[in-house]
């Protein structure tokens, strides 16, 4: 008993070995229950605070789709929620509650549990909604952010930027417009120009095979950015697709393969393609999903316009339909699996996923207006 008190371990009792408790049980808990378990004893707090444990814990967390919750008829982002299908009943799970400073703010990119937020796509911020760390990227005001990635050779977190207008810090950042730049989070260096004036990219970004991928409607091609060499190339999109509407047709990660979806004009049918051979760029039509239109209209109370996106979660391919305060989960057979209604607030599907992380990053204290457990978090 005296030895246990000195080491911080609870008194020895019959039960599971400490290694099993820490590396098989605690490491699989969601962040909040894990933080509560740290209060049990000093040993658990110490063992679950190491870098190796936090990285392993992060790898065990699910990647959940993110939804912006906003104040209807206004531009205030009230919070970010995730869609969790692991429970007996699918539910919306709060990720971050935000205060009224978040006028016109949106979630624009995610990487390893970090979120990139913006105000009007001009002012940029980085946060970890789990550790509640937040910092501004004032130097980047005026850039468009194309992607957010971890640079494999250095493990730095970097932003891929596009410069197409005058910057707030124009006199500090030399270089041309209508071209791409790379910025390392926490660095004192200004963004570095890497060229590629052919096109910018926006919309859903898929990270596969060490590269970022975007579908470019204007070229009907897929733009690929190698995160190691930090260079671009083009890839073929599926050739025999239905004619996509302007707000449909995007990429997603289909269990380690590149997937693409597009819908018809009325968003009643969704085609889902998969890149079967990445090197040879061979696509095949995997599913053609007819949405349960009568059921959707019945819940909406009329024939409203809605949008659809496709995601892969725990091995299942699902269609997520959104309209104002409603979200619908639909499987590839066209069956309605679950519906969500958020009274009083609007819901907007971001196309992003968040894999919760308690990992500590050295760049956070170096950011402008760095804060923890402060505005804009509630």
Is the Cβ–Cβ distance between 145 and 118 less than 8 Å?
A: yes
Tokens (6 digits) for 15: 């039960």
Tokens (6 digits) for 261: 């979806």
Q: Quote the domain boundaries for residue 108.
A: 61-372
What is the pLDDT at residue 232? 95
Residue 43: CA atoms inside 13 Å, Cβ hemisphere, count? 14
> How many other C-beta atoms lie within 10 A of the C-beta of residue 227?
20
Mean pLDDT of 332-347: 83
What is the pLDDT at residue 86? 62
Angstrom distance (rounded) from CA 93 to CA 86: 11
pLDDT surpassing 50 at residue 3:
no
258 and 116: one domain?
yes
What is the pLDDT at residue 246? 43
Query: In terms of pLDDT, which residue wins out, 216 or 348?
Result: 216
Is the Cβ–Cβ distance between 306 and 314 less than 8 Å?
A: no
Residue 6 resides in a domain = no
359 and 334: one domain?
yes
Mean pLDDT of 105-127: 90
What is the pLDDT at residue 243? 55
| Strand-by-strand arrangement of the 133-136 sheet | 105-111, 114-119, 123-128, 133-136, 368-372
45 and 106: one domain?
no
pLDDT surpassing 80 at residue 200:
no
Which tens digits make up the pLDDT trace of 120-161?
Answer: 778 899 999 999 999 999 988 888 899 999 999 999 999 999
176 and 315: one domain?
yes
Angstrom distance (rounded) from CA 211 to CA 200: 16
Strongest mean pLDDT among 118-127, 138-147, 176-185, 363-372: 363-372
Nearest one of 316, 359, 369, 299 to 130, comparing CA atoms: 359
At residue 324 the predicted structure's pLDDT band, cuts being 50, 70 and 90, is: confident
Which tens digits make up the pLDDT trace of 28-70?
Answer: 999 999 999 999 999 999 999 999 999 999 999 999 898 887 7
Nearest one of 353, 378, 377, 367 to 206, comparing CA atoms: 353
Task: Tell the residue number behind the tokens 């009907």, with chain if given.
Answer: 220
What angle (nearest 5°) sits at the alpha carbon of residue 83, between those of residues 212 and 276?
A: 40
Percent of the chain with pLDDT over 70: 87
Where residue 182 sits, what CATH number does that domain have? Answer: 2.120.10.30
């Amino acid at each position: 008993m005296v030895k246990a008190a000195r080491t911080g371990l609870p008194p020895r009792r019959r039960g599971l070995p400490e290694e099993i408790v820490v590396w098989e049980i605690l490491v699989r808990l969601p962040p909040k229950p894990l933080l509560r378990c740290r209060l049990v004893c000093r040993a658990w707090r110490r063992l679950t605070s190491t870098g190796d444990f936090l990285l392993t814990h992060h790898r065990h967390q699910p990647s959940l789709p993110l939804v912006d919750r906003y104040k209807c008829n206004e531009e205030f982002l009230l919070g970010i929620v995730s869609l969790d299908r692991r429970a007996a009943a699918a539910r919306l799970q709060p990720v971050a509650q935000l205060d009224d400073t978040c006028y016109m703010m949106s979630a624009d990119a995610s990487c390893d549990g970090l979120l990139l937020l913006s105000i009007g796509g001009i002012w940029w911020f980085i946060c970890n909604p789990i550790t509640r760390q937040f910092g501004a990227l004032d130097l980047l005001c005026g850039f468009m952010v194309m992607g957010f990635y971890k640079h494999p050779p250095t493990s730095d977190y970097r932003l891929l930027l596009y410069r197409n207008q005058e910057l707030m810090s124009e006199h500090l950042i030399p270089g041309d417009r209508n071209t791409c730049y790379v910025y390392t989070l926490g660095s004192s260096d200004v963004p570095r120009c890497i060229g590629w004036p052919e096109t910018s990219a926006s919309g859903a970004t898929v990270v596969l095979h060490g590269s970022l991928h975007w579908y470019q409607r204007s070229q009907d091609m897929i733009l690929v950015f190698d995160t190691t060499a930090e260079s671009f190339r083009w890839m073929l999109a599926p050739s025999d697709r239905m004619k996509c509407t302007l707000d449909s047709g995007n990429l997603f990660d289909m269990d380690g393969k590149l997937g693409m979806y597009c819908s018809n004009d009325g968003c009643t049918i969704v085609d889902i393609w998969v890149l079967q051979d990445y090197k040879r760029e061979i696509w095949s039509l995997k599913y053609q999903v007819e949405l349960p239109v009568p059921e959707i209209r019945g819940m909406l109370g009329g024939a409203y316009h809605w949008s659809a996106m496709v995601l892969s979660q725990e091995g299942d391919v699902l269609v997520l339909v959104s309209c104002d305060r409603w979200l619908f989960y639909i499987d590839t057979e066209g069956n309605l699996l679950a519906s969500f209604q958020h009274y009083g607030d609007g819901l907007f599907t971001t196309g992003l996923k968040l894999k919760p992380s308690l990992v500590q990053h050295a760049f956070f204290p170096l950011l402008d207006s760095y804060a923890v457990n402060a505005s804009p978090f509630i």
